[in-house]
A and B are shown apart, each in its own frame.
Chain A
Amino acid sequence: MTDEPQQPDYNDPETLKKLRERQSSRAKVMGLGLVALVILFYLITVVKIGMT
């Protein structure tokens, strides 16, 4: 039913290039997510302090 785990050939320049592109785009999205969380936590803190 399921495929056996596949190991890509990272010695292949095309595969390596594709891997780096994916890693780069994922890192950028993760970075944006973290920045958004930092801003959100900052705003929550300001609001919570204001409430007390």
Chain B
Amino acid sequence: MDAKTITQAAQHAGQLASPDYVAADWRDFYALTKPRVMSLVIFTALCGLLAAPGDIHPVIGFTAILCIALGAGGSAALNQWYEADIDAGMKRTAQRPLPAGRMQRDSALHFGIGLSALSVFIMGVAVNWLSAGILAFSIFFYAVVYTMWLKPNTPQNIVIGGAAGAFPPVIGWAAVMNEVTLLPILLFALIFIWTPPHFWALALFMKSDYAKVGIPMMPVVAGEKATRRQIFWYSLALLAVAAAPFALGLAGWIYGLPAIVLSLVFLMLATKVGFRQENDPARMKPEKQLFAFSILYLFVIFTVLVADRLAASGVLA
């Protein structure tokens, strides 16, 4: 079954409830928001907010982060509503509330729309309309452009779709400054360039899962060799983007040194993955190492950026 057929089936299916379905538990609604992904979104948004050279009242700052989290949760729910049938075919996602039959599809749709609308509205009223506008666009980008259009149709899905995950630090910055300058754009670029090697490392050892449900991930469509080369080139670009805030004088050594060292380690792991040949997922240790390190990389690089900015503003002095 190809991706188009699967998504059409998903669109026309009324619900996926199992025979023993009674009513969805609140924990299922919580699971619908992809809490683990949300934690990374909250973290990068908070870093964007803290790195901004302005003042924001703690209550307004908390509200901004809450809205970004709610928006991320809403778009994740819409993603799962649309992809329920695809999720059912993959081991990694089969136990989500919809494919496992613990929730009706319409409930997920209403929950996703409600959460998204609420987040944008509160952000606009309480924080500012620039950050609300970027938040609304990022939700639309993830739920519609990425989930419905890019993901089932092109192996470049992760490359362009990665933009959706790159918005949070920009929104955090805009919440404080009510404008978007070069540094938040570089933070956007950092996540944007980081996303393909991060996901393709995962896709290499989960290739069979994606192939089974017809999602045209790079290893499935272009082959492993091309994917490995792409991982290497993106990691090289990541080194340049990560070093840019320091090179352009937007951040100091507290950021610059760890960012360059971590990016070189990233590149080293990516080189190992990029120039080897291995088809057996059970023997893909370097790919798993790169995937695990990429998550740590993003957390550390954003942390040192915030430390650098706070030190520069005298908060840590």
Contacts and interface: CB of A to CB of B under 8 A. Distances in A.
Interface of A: 1-3, 5-6, 8, 15, 18-19, 22-23, 25-26, 29-30, 40, 43-44, 46-48, 51
A47 B15 contact: no
A43 B84 CA distance: 39
A18 B22 contact: yes
The 9 closest A-B pairs by CB, nearest first: A2-B13, A22-B23, A29-B26, A44-B126, A1-B9, A18-B22, A47-B59, A43-B59, A19-B22
B39 to A, nearest CB: 19
A22 B25 contact: yes
Contacts of B6: 1
B21 A6 contact: yes
Interface string B116-148: 000000000110000000000000000000000
B181 interface: no
B51 interface: no
A47 B21 CA distance: 45
B9 A47 contact: no
B85 interface: yes
Interface of B: 1, 6, 9-10, 13-26, 29, 57, 59-60, 63, 66, 84-85, 88, 101, 125-126
A5 B14 contact: yes
User: In terms of DSSP, what is the predominant structure of the interface of chain A?
Assistant: helix
B104 to A, nearest CB: 8
B59 A5 contact: no
5 contacts: A3-B18, A8-B21, A25-B25, A43-B59, A51-B57
A19 B23 contact: yes
A1 to B, nearest CB: 5
Contacts, number: 60
Given A47-B60, A48-B126, 9 more contacts: A1-B9, A8-B21, A18-B23, A19-B23, A22-B24, A26-B25, A30-B26, A40-B66, A44-B126
Contacts of B63: 40, 44
Given A1-B1, A29-B26, A44 B85 contact: no
A23 B23 contact: yes
B60 A5 contact: no
A25 B27 CA distance: 10
A30 B111 CA distance: 12
B26 A44 contact: no
Contacts of A40: 63, 66
A3 B26 contact: no
B4 to A, nearest CB: 13
Residue of B13, B23, B84, B88 with highest tally of chain A CB at under 10 A? B23
Contacts of A30: 26
Contacts of B60: 44, 47
Contacts of B20: 8
Contacts of B22: 8, 15, 18-19, 22
Nearest to A4: B14
Given A44-B59, A44-B60, A2 B26 contact: no
B99 to A, nearest CB: 10
A25 B59 CA distance: 29
Contact of A2 (B57, B85, B126): B85
